[in-house]
Amino acid sequence: MTTALSTRDKRILELARQNGRVTVDELVATLSVTAQTIRKDLNTLCTQGFMARVHGGAILSSGVENLGYEARRRLCVEEKRAIGRAAAAIIPDGASLFINIGTTTEEVARYLAERSNLLVITNNLNVVDILCRNPSIEIIVVGGRVRHADRAAVGPSAVAFIKHFKVDYAVIGTSAIDGDGSLLDFDLDEVQVSSAIVENARSVILVADQTKRSRSAPVRVGHMGDIDIFVTDVIEGSDLVPVCEAHDVRVVAALARGPEPGRGNGEA
């Protein structure tokens, strides 16, 4: 049974909503209490379903409402950069690709920004801003209703537009990954766009950090079996390792210290 939240608990949740995550050290400094007290508070909030623990702190774990886009930008910054670098390295010059909405897909775009002879089709206006300064990258913007919150073009027009293409690669993100390999999101319009992107790419690259494995979301995008390459920060010990092996998904763990699992034989 969920008990009433204390004033400090409410403040912790408020800070998490603003920043995407909270760390023990930051909360100790902000709330002027001991690290032991903060860890107890976080454990309580996690037990009640408000948050999920990650290394050094916690994130919101709402299964029905996503974090604000700016808050998501501040979450796992270094991990997303590593993922972006690793995913961009997979894509050769001269390729055609989709890039959908997401703070991690934007990191992939940053590492593609100096590349040559790419054709990029995107519903993410932030990606347009990142890539448009390079004249050797041709950009096609997906038409549709633009959401003010994240500058994504979504809706039936966007889906219909995407279906005119067949590209070499798709770079997609997801809000949550279930233990059975289901890819989940919060917005049906966004899911329909992502599904169309997956269907119209020869090779699909999923980019998602480990915190996505601690979350839940209500709308099913697809399954790991729909993915060709999964680029994450770390995956050792995750339930997704056997799922990826069973579906022949190549895994690239951008921050792994040892051999990365992939295609069931250790190949990265």
CA distances from 60 to 11, 73, 193, 205 (A): 13, 14, 25, 26
* Fold type of domain 76-253: Rossmann fold (3.40.50)
Amino acid of residue 21: R
Instruction: Give me the pLDDT at residue 268, please.
Output: 32
Residue 105, Cα to own-chain centre: how many angstroms? 7
Q: Write the DSSP symbol of residue 257.
A: S
Report the run of H or E that residue 96 belongs to, with start and end. strand 96-99
Strands 229-232 and 201-207: parallel
Q: Which residue has the tokens 């939240």?
A: 5
| Cα 50 to Cα 59: distance, rounded to the nearest angstrom | 9
For domain 7-61, give its CATH number from 3.40.50.1980, 3.40.50.1480, 1.10.10.10, 1.50.10.10.
1.10.10.10
Instruction: Give me the pLDDT at residue 237, please.
Output: 79
| Residue 21 main-chain phi, psi, to 5 deg | -155, 165
The tokens of 203 are what?
A: 């090779």
Q: Where are the domains of the chain?
A: 7-61, 76-253
Q: Which residue has the tokens 């590492």?
A: 111
CATH topology identical between 7-61 and 76-253? no
Residue 179, Cα to own-chain centre: how many angstroms? 16
The tokens of 184 are what?
A: 């989940």
Residue pLDDT, tens place only, 115-171? 999 999 999 999 999 999 999 999 999 998 998 888 999 999 999 999 999 999 999
Instruction: Give me the pLDDT at residue 254, please.
Output: 96
The tokens of 10 are what?
A: 């409410």
The tokens of 154 are what?
A: 């979504």
Instruction: Give alpha helix (H) positions in the chain.
Output: 7-19, 24-31, 35-47, 69-73, 77-90, 103-112, 125-131, 156-162, 188-199, 240-246
Which parts of the chain register pLDDT below 70? 1-4, 20, 61-75, 214, 257-268
| Cα 62 to Cα 107: distance, rounded to the nearest angstrom | 24
Instruction: Give me the pLDDT at residue 267, please.
Output: 35
pTM over 0.85: no
Instruction: Give me the pLDDT at residue 154, please.
Output: 93
The tokens of 70 are what?
A: 């700016």
Instruction: Give me the pLDDT at residue 73, please.
Output: 64
Q: Name every residue whose Cβ is closer than 8 Å to that of residue 47 and which is 6 or more positions away in sequence.
A: none
